[in-house]
Amino acid sequence: MTDAIPAAGVGTATQPLTGVRVLDIATFLAGPFCGTIMGDFGADVIKVEQPGSGDPLRGFGTPTECGDTFAWLSEARNKRCMTLDLRSPEGAAVFRRLVAEADVLIENFRPGTMEKWGFGWEALSAINPKLVMLRISAYGQTGPMREKPGFARIAHGFAGLSYLAGEPGRPPVVPGSTSLADYMSGVWGCVGVMMALRQAESTGRGQVVDIGLYESIFRMLDEIAPVYAAHGTVRERMGADVPAVVPHGHWCTRDGRWIALACSSDKMFERLAVAMGRPELAGAGPFGRTAQRVAGREAVNALVAEWVGAQDYEGLIAACDRHGVPCGPINSIADIFEDPQFRARGNMLDVEDPRIGRVVLPAGVPALSETPPALRHTGRALGADTDAILRDLLRLEEAEIAALRAAGAV
């Protein structure tokens, strides 16, 4: 590991969501990541897990000496952890009391599961009319596929992203991360929850936020839907290229560094042509207009590849910077740990975990000038806060807590 990265965003100052209480009963990433975002900005997120086993995310990814993975330490941060068996009568009774004290409930079980347990929307809103319920599932709460299981990889395929990922004529590949749909659904879920909370504040009525994993991906695939509807065009795999602009891709320098370069307008290409020492290519030249460059894609890309491949990385970046050409490195995580921009922005938190010691986590996003995201603690041990929540929030006596433990409810 590199030298220590300066800690940023660590604190307990009042934040935008201070006073908002969230019950996170979801598993893995999609639903819980919404809770993670809210926790970064001050919400009291109570992570409810099954006694004994806990959230499977604890065992997903690279393990640490405390028994939980790095994924857990990162994505369960700022959450209080309690165990509760919602399927037992005793646990169900406690859960109803928690719902009465909550502003938000997050779940991502297969549709119908909550109803089977007696915790559908009608039942929960009767307990707490202002409750906002985030429901993330593979295909959403409605439609002919609503009851089918699914994970992020399935969502990437169903939404159309995997079809676009890879080289022409080659098999589809993983689009960067197998968890992308989970994380994006958590982000969209947080957006929906915040809007629903705003509405609940003004009307006194909560509502359901319903997201299918695939929808979070499909919504971000730029113009493929309207272009297909208008022209019947099916976008195919293009590797690092994009359909509408050229050059816009990845190239390798003489010293073996990969870079990304983007020319999304005629003006940008003119700057690139000057940087390349080939100004005659732009303007009234053979590739001065976007349509000309798209038609001559192979020739343009070959010219750029030749220019980039004849230069070392540092010289290339300097040339692009001088001429205002958008260009940057294709970083590995090792590169990121050494990059001064990541350091200056505080994009990584170097913190002490009470169970394993030093750990580096990605910082919360976005940066707010007055109330930035903050890390209070990393993901905690299974059931670490059960007694405190039952005692302080629900005002249960020690004998009542002991009875719940004896019944296996916590």
Residue numbers annotated as active site: 182
SS3 content of the chain, % helix, strand, coil (to 5): 40, 15, 45
**CA–CA separation, 123 and 384 (whole Å):** 29
The helix (H) or strand (E) run that includes residue 21 is: strand 21-24
Across 323-395, the runs of DSSP E, i.e. the strands, are: 327-329, 348-353, 357-362
Place of tokens 């992570």: 47
Nearest Cα neighbor of 70 from 58, 79, 81, 80 is 58
**CA–CA separation, 325 and 251 (whole Å):** 14
Nearest Cα neighbor of 37 from 77, 4, 83 is 77
Phi and psi at 197, nearest 5°, equal -65, -40
Map residue 375 onto helix, strand or coil: strand
Region label for 291, one of left (φ > 0), alpha (ψ between -120 and 50) or beta (otherwise):
alpha
**CA–CA separation, 159 and 4 (whole Å):** 40
Map residue 41 onto helix, strand or coil: coil
β 104-107/208-212 pair status: unpaired
- The alpha carbon of 268 is separated from its chain's Cα centroid by a whole number of angstroms, namely 31
38 neighbors 196 (Cβ within 8 angstroms): no
Contacts of 16 (CB under 8 A, 6+ apart): 41, 42, 368, 371
- The alpha carbon of 185 is separated from its chain's Cα centroid by a whole number of angstroms, namely 7
Q: How far is CA 215 from CA 151, 157, 182, 210, in A?
A: 13, 12, 11, 10
